[in-house]
Amino acid sequence: MESQVRGGTRWKRFAVVMVPSVAATACIGVALAQGALAASFSVSGQSFKVTADKLVGQGFAQYGALDSGYTLDGKKTAHPVAVSSFKSATITNMCQSVVTPNIPLLGSVSLTLKAGGGDKPVEADNLYIDVEDLAADAVFNNIEIGVAAKDLNKGPGMKGGSEQANPYGFGQQADSAVLSDVKQTAWATTAGTFKLSGLKMSLSTGVKECY
């Protein structure tokens, strides 16, 4: 069991286990978080899907949070998420897609963005991903599980503004993380810098998602 915690943990579909627990932590602790991290902007009424062949990140941290936002018809809502953060990351063969439904005369319209193919991966620093659902093969180096969110010190720090997070809630961190065959649904992504090599963006009618 100890090798699973300290030696470079490999968990198939890691977030199937972790995401529900950190999301529940966010919901339970949101009353404590209100005022600690004030929301300065809201997420849109649409989540988006992302795939990648591989994400290699240095300085990983993850904690539960609650993103405020709106539905597509303008009603206020909230989304429990797991905020995954990296001091730096490279992403190989990234695909991002979002579908806007019910457009007059057109129906659904899909926006697809691809980058980081070949030998030039996407590069990012101070990367934060507000994840709703994630599936991947994952390897973590020197992972620490069950750290209070406020005490996470391997990642870029707790993000202020976009989400409300319980600073005393569940968190985890690692020196580095490698995620392969990534499929995720997210509500927001922010980064200090985000270099998209070989960027290609396309619009098409109908539902055409990365997965």
In this prediction, residue 70 carries a pLDDT of 87
Q: How confident is the model at residue 160 (pLDDT cuts 50, 70, 90)?
A: low
Q: Which residues pair with 188 in a beta bridge?
A: 130
pLDDT tens-digit readout, 110-146: 999 999 998 999 999 999 999 999 999 999 999 999 9
Report yes or no on whether pTM surpasses 0.85: no
Domain ranges of the chain: 2-205
Q: Which two tokens stand for residue 57?
A: 């990140």
Task: State the Cα–Cα distance between residues 51 and 22, nearest whole angstrom.
Answer: 22
The yes-or-no verdict on residue 10 having pLDDT over 50 is no
Report phi then psi at 156, rounded to 5: -80, 5
Specify the pairing of strand 163-164 against strand 107-115.
unpaired
In this prediction, residue 158 carries a pLDDT of 84
CB 188 within 8 A of CB 77: no
Q: Which two tokens stand for residue 84?
A: 């995954």
CB-based burial label for 70 (10 Å; 0-12, 13-18, 19+): middle
pLDDT tens-digit readout, 79-100: 889 999 999 999 999 999 999 9
Q: Which residues pair with 147 in a beta bridge?
A: 171
CB 127 within 8 A of CB 89: yes
In this prediction, residue 28 carries a pLDDT of 31
Task: State the Cα–Cα distance between residues 201 and 134, nearest whole angstrom.
Answer: 23
The yes-or-no verdict on residue 4 having pLDDT over 80 is no
